[in-house]
Amino acid sequence: MDLLVIHAISLPANSFGGPWIEHFFLNRLPGLRHPYFDQICGLRVSSHLLIRRDGELLQFVALDKRAWHAGRSSFHGREACNDFSIGIELEGADHIPYTLQQYQRLGTVSREIMERFPAIRQENIVGHCDIAPGRKTDPGPAFDWSRYHALLED
């Protein structure tokens, strides 16, 4: 693995808490529970890690295994980023500020990942928007890249 991709997810959109993200990544999202869920419950997606609003860290896929988080994507001319990347989902939305606990946990886990996978350097840490421009916008303008990069230096 030589790429780290930062994502944002909320289910339903702009709503936090509840079991819906976990159900989605485990292919158990109940479609009839919400109109949006009905549209996405058949998708088969996963992420390596999820960081909740309170900083809780959940793992869905082993870091050395492929997760289905990037979709159609490209990084420096390499297609299919799922094949060589680790995906971290933040429970959040493009225009809602992320929490202090999320930044702290993201900084810690990112440093641990960088130690385990030395090919992942700061320049190989991107947002979903960077590898799927025009298709994805997360983690969005509310994500403070400067704050995050400072945490990687600690």
Catalytic residues: 89
- Count Cβ atoms within 10 A of the Cβ of residue 57 and give its class: 0-12 exposed, 13-18 middle, 19 or more buried: middle
Cβ atoms < 10 Å from Cβ of 142: 15
Distance CA 110, CA 112 (A): 5
DSSP string covering 51-103:
E-TT--EEE-S-TTS--S-S-S-EETTEE-GGGTEEEEEEE-BTTBPPPHHHH
